[in-house]
Amino acid sequence: MSRRPALSIIIPAWNEAEWLPRTLAAVQEALSGIDRNSEIIVVDNASTDRTPQIAQAAGCRVVFEPERRISRARNVGAAVACGDYLLFVDADTWPDRALLQATLDALDSGEVCGGGARVTFDHLSHRIYRWGATAWNTLSARLVLAAGCYVFCTREAFAAVGGFSEAVYAGEEVFLSRALKRWGRAHGQRVEILETPVLTSGRKADWFHPGRHILVVTQVLLFPWSLRSRRLSWFWYTRPRRH
């Protein structure tokens, strides 16, 4: 009988045939240099392209979730995961070996129950987006909030806080970060934002005008309850037709 995997990497994916191969290659390359039992789980969130076939061909475990809700897709992946450590990576995000090792070191310490990483983008053409990325990284470090593209935690802490909130259609990583911080304080542990960065796609900067990004940020700040509405969370569920 094989040993229980120590690390489960969960990748939610909706119509990610274009981007998923690069992500899986990056994750597998990162794992290849680390002596750790692991598994990669791709959650097919009702894709209509070849997303599940690509994941299967790469040797990943594939599970299906028909409801288009990011938090639910993440939770479904966690429910079937075998690892003591859970790592959630977006399908357009490319962690490297150094980041993966830093993540494992943090969790192995017994002092960290979860966290994230500083975010860098492969391209951001407009200075507004570059300012926004800097602002997010500053806020993330100060308030200890993980970015959704890279979130890690122990299974124990994840289960104790009830996983990602399925009451919202977006921003679930912020709610999880807060819940993990509360749990960690009660158990002598902390949430940590790693200095080792994670590289992710700036594709939304190509898809949407800066004005739309500003509108979404304003909406979330002034009306956080809007994240409970699928219609008002359109930004996270919409793509230009050409993509």
Give residue-wise pLDDT tens across range 65-110.
999 999 999 999 999 999 999 999 999 999 999 999 999 999 999 9
pTM score of the predicted model: 0.91
Which of 49 and 33 is assigned the larger pLDDT? 49
Alpha helices, DSSP H only, in the chain?
20-32, 51-57, 70-80, 97-108, 127-143, 155-161, 172-186, 203-207, 210-222
Count the neighbouring beta carbons within 10 Å of the beta carbon of residue 39: 19
The pLDDT assigned to 1 comes to: 38
Q: Write down the mean pLDDT value for the chain.
A: 91
**Residue 115: phi, psi to the nearest 5?**
165, -160
Task: Provide the b/e sequence for 140-177 (b: ≥16 CB within 10 Å).
Answer: beeebbbbbbbbbbbeebbebbebbbeebbbbbbbbbb
pLDDT, tens digit, 9 for 90 and up, residues 132-175:
889 999 999 999 999 999 999 999 999 999 999 999 988 999 99
The helix/strand/coil state of 168 is coil
